[in-house]
Amino acid sequence: MKRNVLFHFKCLWAIVAVSFIALACKKESTPAEPEAYDPSEKVLVTDFFPKSGGSGQQFVIYGKNFGNDKSIVSVKIGGLAATVINVSNEAIYCIVPDRAYSGKVEVSVGSSANLQLATATTTFDYQKRMVVTTLAGKTDERGNYDIKDGTFANCGGFLNPSWLTFDPKNPNLLYMGQDGGDIRLLNFADSTVTTPITRAMGGWSRIRTIDFSLDKNYMLIAEDQGDVNGKAVSILSRASGFKDPQVLTSYKQCNGASVHPINGELYFNSYEKGQFYRFDLNSYIANHTLGIKDYQTLFLIQDNNWEFNIEIAPTGDYAYIIVINQNYILRTDYDWTNKTFTQPFVVCGSPRAASAWIDGVGTQARLANPYQGVFVRNPDYAGKKDEYDFYFTEQGNHDIRILTPEGKVTTFAGRGSSSINSNPYGYIDGALRTEARFDQPKGLAYDSTNKAFYVGEGGANHRVRKISLEN
């Protein structure tokens, strides 16, 4: 059997080879002239491909009497002009425009004196894409900006918007921590920016992170000060309108504080030796008997004197420790029996490795100054133990990355428009990977109801950007 198959296979290739030689020996025929548009004949659109897609999609329209002159052919998809690439008498090659929502496909051929319009009998299924837009903030042409309250359109720029947190009781309120500045509030109900909490109120110098207690009635602010008896975490009550800051825990150089989303304990850190602390916030709220030093050291991360913050998964099963200056992320698992986190391990990036931009798995990936992250439920993981991807900002790579539960790192947004210049940073709105650019993004928040991300930018942009479906 094998010999017969091999014999037939050899015979087939011999026939193909002979046919190819015969064709090659033929005298080349003169190509026919492409057919020109005939004003006396009707222009028809008979089909198009693909049937669905988004902005920038390559698109072919089939029909009759399109001619061969691209200058007299125009195409609209969804009522918007499409870029025509090439034309033959029976096909038009073009690019789907932005926001072609209705999907109506129209072809115009001819001059004003003999113009014909043909429309497809079916519509193109336009699929909206995720894009980057500007929500608030601005600078002038020299990069200067004012810090002022106002509407999203006229509030001026932002000073190092390094942390973003939605109010858990009001999804229309987004709090912004400014490292070295005050806490700003973006109100989506009336599209305004205000300054409800100032550094002077709490005697803060560097506000690092913002979180809320499990009962949602207290705000926790992490403060970075140099004194061992300085403020680490401050607590403010909703009952006072968050106007009554008090020192909750005391130590130096706190880069972040996070509340366990199920059990309610407070975890915070110190830059000094990489300390990871636990504080019984529930007991404090219940009876106020704990002192500002009544916390316990759980472990030290492997790098001393490097900034890190703590992001706890919505399930409470684990937390990511983002080591900002050393370009990697640790994971620490939660011990439900003892209500505490355990010794961490590296989940992506590589300790002591130089900063770089490399998508990959685990320690093969390379990061550059990761900062804030958010957990986003992935419908493709339904039924799995962990249903969340982790999106995080990177100052050094000027992008937003995704970390999967398996440790795979990919790039979600930023570093686009490579044809304009070689820099990966800048201020450009548009498609996530092909156009959009950021400049040292730090703050990140996610609105799960509207499936929208908000990005706070340092660098030269001083803005809050939005990532959502185009509208």
- The pLDDT tens digits for 180-215 are 999 999 999 999 999 999 999 999 999 999 999 999
Counted domains in the chain: 2
Residue 5 has pLDDT above 80, yes or no: no
pLDDT digits (tens, 9 = 90+) for 378-429: 999 999 999 999 999 999 999 999 999 999 999 999 999 877 788 999 999 9
Amino acid making up residue 233: V
Spatial separation of the C-alpha atoms in residues 389 and 305, rounded to whole Å? 29
Supply the pLDDT for residue 141: 87
Amino acid type, 4? N
- 179 and 117 within one domain: no
DSSP β-ladder status, 116-119 and 441-447: unpaired
Query: Is residue 3 situated within a structural domain?
Result: no
pLDDT value for 305: 83
Residue 207 lies in a domain: yes
Residue ranges of E strands in 102-169: 105-109, 116-119, 125-126, 130-136, 150-151, 161-167
Task: Examine residue 428 and state whether it is found in any structural domain, yes or no.
Answer: yes
Are both 205 and 334 inside the same structural domain? Answer: yes
Q: Is the pLDDT of residue 19 over 60?
A: no
What residue numbers bound the domain in which 164 lies? 130-469
Residue 17 maps to a domain: no
Residue 30 lies in a domain: no
29 found inside a domain: no
Which residue type sits at 424? Answer: P
424: nearest Cα among 444, 442, 397, 402: 397
24 compared with 148, residue with greater pLDDT: 148
Shared domain check, 100 and 64: yes
Backbone phi, then psi, for 183, in 5-degree steps?
-95, 125
- CB-CB contact of 76 with 104 (8 Å): yes
Query: What is the distance between the alpha carbons of residues 466 and 454, in angstroms, rounded to a whole number?
Result: 5
- Over residues 129-143, the pLDDT tens digits come to 999 999 999 999 888
What confidence tens digit (pLDDT) does each residue in 45-78 have?
999 999 999 998 999 999 999 999 999 999 999 9
Same domain, 102 and 49: yes
* 249 in the same domain as 211: yes
What is the CATH number for 83?
Answer: 2.60.40.10
Mode of pairing for the β-strands spanning 116-119 and 105-109:
antiparallel
What is the per-residue pLDDT across 260-296, written as a single tens digit (0 to 9) for each?
Answer: 999 999 999 999 999 999 999 999 999 988 999 999 9
- Average pLDDT score, the chain: 92
How are beta strands 218-223 and 207-212 bridged, if at all?
antiparallel
- Measured CA to CA, the distance from residue 144 to residue 152 in angstroms comes to 17
Q: Has residue 441 been placed in a domain?
A: yes
Q: Are residues 138 and 282 in the same domain?
A: yes
Alpha-carbon distance values, 443 to 40, 82, 284, 393 (Å): 62, 36, 29, 7
Decide if pLDDT at 455 tops 60. Answer: yes
Spatial contact of 43 and 109, defined as CB atoms under 8 Å apart: yes
Domain boundary (103, 126, 149) is at 126
Q: Which of 126, 149, 164 is the last residue of a domain?
A: 126
Does residue 430 sit in the same domain as residue 354? yes
Separation of alpha carbons 237 and 415, rounded Å = 40
Specify whether 90 is located in the same domain as 137: no
Q: Which amino acid is at 284?
A: Y
Q: How confident is the model at residue 458 (pLDDT cuts 50, 70, 90)?
A: confident
| Under 8 Å between Cβ of 78 and 126 | yes
d(CA 261, CA 317): 10
**Domain limit, last residue, from 126, 161, 190:** 126
Hey, CA dihedral for 169, 212, 136, 424, is it positive or negative? negative
In this prediction the pTM is 0.86
10 in any annotated domain: no
Where does residue 15 rank: exposed (0-12), middle (13-18), buried (19+ CB within 10 A)?
exposed
Give me the CATH number covering residue 258: 2.120.10.30
The pair of structure tokens assigned to 406 is 């398996």
Instruction: Please check whether residues 176 and 54 belong to one and the same domain.
Output: no
Convert 236-246 to b/e letters by CB count within 10 Å (16 or more is b): bbeeeebeebe
Please tell me whether residues 137 and 118 are part of one structural domain.
Answer: no
Let me know whether 136 and 190 are in one domain: yes
| Distance in angstroms (rounded) separating the CA atoms of residues 412 and 375 | 14
Whether residues 122 and 172 fall in one domain: no
